[in-house]
Chain A
Amino acid sequence: MKKLIIALLLAVFLSPTAFAGTSAKDVQKVINEAETLRKEAAKLHYEWRDTKKQIKKAQALLKEGKVDKAMKVAKHARLEGQRAIEQAKRESTHYKDLMP
């Protein structure tokens, strides 16, 4: 039993994925997703103020080789894009809540 547990733990920690950090390709994928969402939000007239700046920042960090930082910023931009689209959909009817 003890050997089995050790073997399992070794399998987990020595697996390639456990050591593979964020790759530039992963970051670029998130940046592209963020840009698509931003454009969609803009088309709906609900783009947020800083999303584009964050995408640019993520791209610049990636260029500098700061992959982890770039991923963090890109994910934030992607989340903003998602939230802006949700907002546009919600406000298509909910804007009336604020009318007197």
Chain B
Amino acid sequence: MNKQLVKTLLTTVAIMLALSSVAQASPEEDRQAFVKFFHDRFPNVKGDDWINGVYAIDSASRAQWEEIEDFPPYEIYVDEGKKLFETKFANGKSLADCFENGGIGIKQNYPYFDTKRGEVVTLELAINECREKNGEKPWGWKKGKLAAVSAYMAWTSRGKKTNVKIPNDPRALAAYEAGKKHFYSRRGQLNMACAHCHMHYSGNKLRADITSPALGHTTHFPVFRSKWGSLGTLHRRFGGCNKQVRAKPFKAQSEEYRNLEYFLTYMNNGLPINGPGARK
């Protein structure tokens, strides 16, 4: 074998190895694999019932939940959120002025990647930024007034299909990949990933609770959790999950959690918004 041939062969092998190591599935391929995983795991779940979380896979829990839904505990928060949403700022403007379509029926488009800023913008972030831009103090991120306004905005978006986009911008893809990495990474003293409880063990019992499938998770937030006794945002829940595996939680609306929300919500594309929800 002459030297030239060996050189060519080695170069070809090196290129093939390099390509195979960097090749990664597109977000859409990820989403399809994600959806298929849950459809294979829970073949009895029909249509969009994923949006109902654990109630889609456990009939006993569902029966209790349906009774709770007769007098939904989040209703007073929706009313409070509507009032807050319509209250004028000191400068005469209101939250409606900061959003497309006056903020009505738009939750399905959140979070989005802002190509000017180069970061993920969640609905809660946009609400507080709107307040600050108009000279008002921002609200706390996890519960209270912000969660109530978010609940009202989700309410006005019920039935609209989740439509999160990843623009053709390497920073957007990087944000998506960072969120994906968080979801699948083992962390904390228990060495557990979000994907352990909400994918691979989903439907099994953790103490007295059945772990819910991740497919559909983002559609029903913010939620009234019986455990909290109040309404809370998705990032409040993220923090709780991280704490439960004994990892230090990140701050609500940190880049880490916004990226995680971006990934998770993208996985739910096509599923209708049904927030706010009631959960255990």
Contact = CB atoms under 8 A, between A and B. Distances in A.
B187 A46 contact: yes
Contacts of B242: 49
A80 B186 contact: no
A98 interface: yes
Given A47-B247, A48-B248, A49-B247, A100 B34 contact: yes
A71 B256 CA distance: 34
B36 interface: yes
A95 B183 CA distance: 8
A96 interface: yes
Given A46-B247, A49-B246, A91-B187, A98 B33 contact: no
A24 interface: no
A74 to B, nearest CB: 17
A49 B189 contact: yes
B258 to A, nearest CB: 14
A42 interface: yes
Contacts of A98: 184, 186, 193, 195-196, 199-200
A96 B184 contact: yes
For the complex of A and B, list the 6 residue pairs with the smallest distance between their C-beta atoms, beginning with the closest: A100-B37, A47-B248, A95-B184, A95-B185, A91-B185, A98-B195
Contacts of B188: 48-49
A20 B247 CA distance: 37
Interface in A82-100: 83, 87, 90-91, 94-100
Given A49-B243, A91-B186, 11 more contacts: A47-B247, A47-B248, A48-B248, A49-B242, A49-B246, A51-B248, A83-B189, A98-B193, A99-B195, A100-B33, A100-B37
Contacts of B184: 95-99
Given A45-B256, A91-B185, A100 B246 contact: no
* Size bracket of the B interface: 20 to 34
B199 A48 contact: no
Interface of B: 30, 33-34, 36-37, 180-181, 184-189, 191, 193, 195-196, 199-200, 242-243, 246-250, 256
A64 interface: no
Contacts of A100: 33-34, 36-37, 199
Nearest to A51: B248
Contacts of A90: 186
Contacts of B191: 87
Contacts of B34: 100
